[in-house]
Amino acid sequence: MLGSAVLIASFALGIHNATLYNPRHGFDGKDHLFYIKYIFNYHKMPPITMMGETHQSPVYYIIGAILKSIIGTWKAAQYINIFVLWMIIGMVGLGLRKVFKKIDQVLIGMFSLTALPMLNIFPAMLTNELLSTFWIISVIVCSIFLIYSKEKKEIIFYSIWFTFNFILGYWTKISIAITLPVVLTAYFFNFMKNKKLRKTIFISIFLSFLLIALGCSPIFFRARQHYSASDITGLFTSRVIIKEDHLFFYRLDWIPKIDMYNTQYYSLLGAAWNSFWTDGHNAITPFIKFHKKSFILWSLGFIILPLSFYGLIVLIKRSIKIGIIMSLVTIIMLGTYVFVNLNSHYSAARLTYEMGIVVPYTFGLASVSQNKKIKYILLLLLSIQFIIMVSFFWIQPWWHVTK
């Protein structure tokens, strides 16, 4: 009953917001729209330096152009991310089900994503970030299945899954490259465990990476036209480089100020989790210095996130290999976040490049919910978060993002 209500409310929020939201808003919305229109009109990718987002990989924009041709309106492309959000939730649910046998833990993990404000910012927008996140998460979940593989046919199947998803992910946004250490770690665990499968694993890795090199090379060489060979940060960031002051990385004055909106401009610690919990960039909601609903969402994060970290510790004790994978994902995503902020501009303070971090976040909450008392407390907190989030993000016709 609760699951059906959450599903209906989630789709209602997405459809309502996408209908009212002006696609030129959001994170470079007008540039994403230009890309879709160019493919629709000319049936090819635009020149790489033509507009702000034309350096991006084309899959999301191709889908948008196809939907425009079928439905006949540019608004159709805005509905893509409504379904991608639930593709993400379903894919994480698949991984949760592989690790946790109790359906309650799986459902709480999935609910934690449905109620996460950061993910719910994107369904109204024209952006490839959410689809890129889906491919990243799919590769992470594939790694979980690789760890559990015991037969030759399973290794082959999951290797195909990894290869197919990685190529599609690279053709959506090249930041999927940060998932490679996770997959290789999963292969290593299986290689050490199954002596009889070592030849199959070695051949699978070789063929997967060969196909990936061939499949991704057109996008790789296209991207190199935009980023100089020495600019590694170009894989993830803008070409606008701003060196942050050292105070940016540890200042905490945003806490006593209860700054829910501006921290991305001056604080690494504040900006990351600010955007993770609420709408720190005002991508949907109007700029209001203090808002009761935003404050509730902001405050809940200080309770739910520590529960997730505690759950990851429990998970490591329960299943060391899965725990290592989740810890590795966390380290990679946070490491990328710090790297991007060292070499880019303030928009990198969003977790959009590193949203794969929602997987360990979810697994941590699913893990900690094995305790009955914590499970009911967590269910209450997530229900409050979901209700407030839907209410807070429900776009009103007079908001600036409709204009």
Q: Which residue has the higher pLDDT, 340 or 358?
A: 358
Helices and strands counted in the chain (H then E):
15, 0
Amino acid letter, residue 227? Y
Structural domains of the chain, count:
1
d(CA 2, CA 108): 11
Band of pLDDT at residue 202, cut at 50, 70 and 90 = very high
> Can you give the pLDDT at residue 244?
55
Q: Which residues, at least 6 apart from 319, have a Cβ–Cβ distance to it below 8 Å? A: 99
CA distances from 295 to 207, 384, 396 (A): 50, 13, 19
**CA 347 vs CA 56, 260, 273, 278: distances in Å:** 16, 16, 14, 15
| pTM flag (> 0.85) | yes
Looking at 174-263, list the stretches that DSSP marks H as alpha helix, in order from N- to C-terminal side. 180-193, 198-224
Range name among 56-65, 85-94, 287-296, 365-374 with the lowest pLDDT average: 287-296
The residue among 84, 25, 88 whose CA lies nearest residue 59 is 84
Query: What percent of the chain stands above pLDDT 70?
Result: 92
Mean pLDDT of 189-218: 93
Ranked by mean pLDDT, the top range of 253-262, 290-299, 386-395 is 386-395
More confident residue, 220 or 352: 220
The 10s digit of each residue's pLDDT in 105-140 is 999 999 999 999 989 999 999 999 999 999 999 999
Residue 167 DSSP SS3:
helix
Average pLDDT over residues 48-61: 84
In tens, the pLDDT along 308-356 reads: 999 999 999 999 999 999 999 999 998 888 777 777 655 566 777 789 9
Q: Rounded to whole angstroms, what are the CA distances from 156 to 5, 163, 182, 216? A: 39, 10, 18, 20
How far apart are the C-alpha atoms of 197 and 201, rounded to whole Å? 6
Closest CA relative to residue 188, chosen from 297, 328, 86: 328
Question: Average of pLDDT values for 281-291?
Answer: 82
Mean pLDDT of the chain, nearest integer:
88
Task: Quote the pLDDT of residue 229.
Answer: 37
Question: Looking at residue 266, what is its pLDDT?
Answer: 78
pLDDT at 308: 96
**Using CA atoms, how far apart are residues 42 and 53, in angstroms rounded to an integer?**
17
For tokens 């710090």, what's the residue? 338
353 token code pair: 């490049």
Over residues 145-160, the mean pLDDT reads 95
pLDDT at residue 348, as a whole number: 61
3-state helix, strand, coil in the chain (%, to 5): 75, 0, 25
Q: Are 53 and 35 in contact (CB under 8 A)?
A: yes
Share of the chain above pLDDT 90, in %: 62
Confidence of residue 235 (pLDDT cuts 50, 70, 90): very low
What confidence score (pLDDT) does residue 29 get? 86
Residue with the larger pLDDT of the pair 123 and 235: 123
* Residue 238: per-residue pLDDT: 42
d(CA 209, CA 269): 36
**CA-CA distance, 88 to 96, in Å (whole number)?**
12
Distance CA 168, CA 131 (A): 10
> Residue 237's pLDDT is what?
42
Domain boundaries, position 265? 2-402
